[in-house]
Amino acid sequence: MNSTALAGHSSCFSFIVALPMQKTKSSALFSPANQKLWRLTQPSIWSLVNDASQDDPARSVLRTLWDQPRWLEAYHLYDDHGSNLFERICELPEYYLTRTENAILEKESASIISAAPVRCIVELGAGSAKKTTHLLKAQVAHRGKTIFSPIDVSLPGLMASRDFARDNFPEIEFQGLHARYEDGFSSIDPNLPTLFVFLGSTIGNFNPSSFVRFFSQLSNAMGPDDFLLLGVDRIKDVDILERAYADSQGLTAQFILNVFQNINRLTGSNFDLAQMRYDSGFNPEWSRIEMYAVSTAAQEISFPSFGAYFRWEKDDRILVEISRKFDALRLQQQLRFFDLTPIAHFTDSREWFSLLLFRKSS
Ligand code: AVI
């Protein structure tokens, strides 16, 4: 019996735990050519056999800190503490994104699933699968047994997602992929009709070159019966946008500055959080919120294991994160050039957030 056939049944869970975890099992999720690249490392969670593609996080930090202007890759924000802070940001009254997207999903999931006749849902980013509940519910109601496959670099996130799916959706066959998005989606069988789901406006955190690379790779990996559901935050009144990233409790400031604790841990550097402050604002030319760390005193930042240092002058800024805000219609037009045809657009009554559904053009 193969583990994937069991994964959705909580009554079989203890049996799954007893399976040898290192051995490759067959799965309808992967294309035959890619199946051998994966092995089960946790019940219902797959990892790459040879994960040589991972970037060294310490080198990634130095590469962008020596750029002009200095900046950081957003994924460094999500260590354990950063991930907890982000969960709390999602609950803030000023941070409307999560609530608004969730309300659209609650209202429109049945329509989304009707428009996308698929046998598998692949979510980019795991969270705890709670935000995907409405889609999973609609999919199970319309089509019964379904594969649900979140892709994430966070193992705890995938495990939480698996446990949530097991407890709430016994009809679902859970197949988590512990990998970077592009490594995960490029292994999925293009003949398996799949809805790729990328929520939360996370695409807004990608810089222009990552954005182009992401959609090129995703579109290449998609088969003729595949769909993409993309959640994006829209351009709106600047005060509303700016308040969402400068909350009165200071949680966003903590989230952004925490990246330097993580960098100190990763690289042995000596960033002093007491000598920096958070600053953010909307840049209309780039249509994005920019989140900066600003040095409040001149400081010498050293990276002993790399024999490198730089002087961070008072009032100089490091760009820690961007959050792009989109014109939904223009984005739909743009993604046509990645062979993604827009087929539906769901929004809220204030038109603050959009869920865009695309089909892979043949
Ligand atoms: C994850 N991402 C969509 C968030 C955003 O709104 O850009 C990250 C965030 N950064 C500060 N607040 C929220």
Q: Which residues line ligand 1 (CB under 6 A)?
A: 89, 97, 200-202, 204-205, 245, 252, 255, 321, 323
Tens digits of per-residue pLDDT, 238-283? 999 999 999 999 999 999 999 999 999 999 999 999 999 999 999 9
Q: Which residues of 71-87 are buried (b: 16+ CB within 10 A; e: fewer)?
A: bbbbebbbbeebeebbe
CA 281 – ligand 1 centroid, Å: 13
Mutate to test the pocket of ligand 1, among 89, 90, 96, 101 (most ligand atoms within 8 A of CB): 89
Counting from 1 in the atom list of ligand 1, the atom nearest the Cα of 321 is 10
Q: What is the pTM of this model?
A: 0.91
| pLDDT on residue 15 | 36
3-state SS record for 209-269: HHHHHHHHHHHHHCCCCCEEEEEEEECCCHHHHHHHCCCCCCHHHHHHHHHHHHHHHHHCC
The rounded distance, in Å, linking the Cα atoms of 199 and 158 is 16
Counting from 1 in the atom list of ligand 1, the atom nearest the Cα of 86 is 13
Residues forming a β-bridge with 45: 42, 176
Tens digits of per-residue pLDDT, 186-210? 999 999 999 999 999 999 999 999 9
Tens digits of per-residue pLDDT, 170-181? 999 999 999 999
The rounded distance, in Å, linking the Cα atoms of 183 and 177 is 9
Bridging pattern class, strands 353-360 and 340-347: antiparallel
Mutate to test the pocket of ligand 1, among 255, 319, 321, 325 (most ligand atoms within 8 A of CB): 321
The closest alpha carbon to 271, from 283, 280, 263, 281, belongs to 263
User: Residue 257 to residues 6, 46, 67: CA-CA distances in angstroms?
Assistant: 43, 33, 19
142, containing H or E segment: helix 133-143
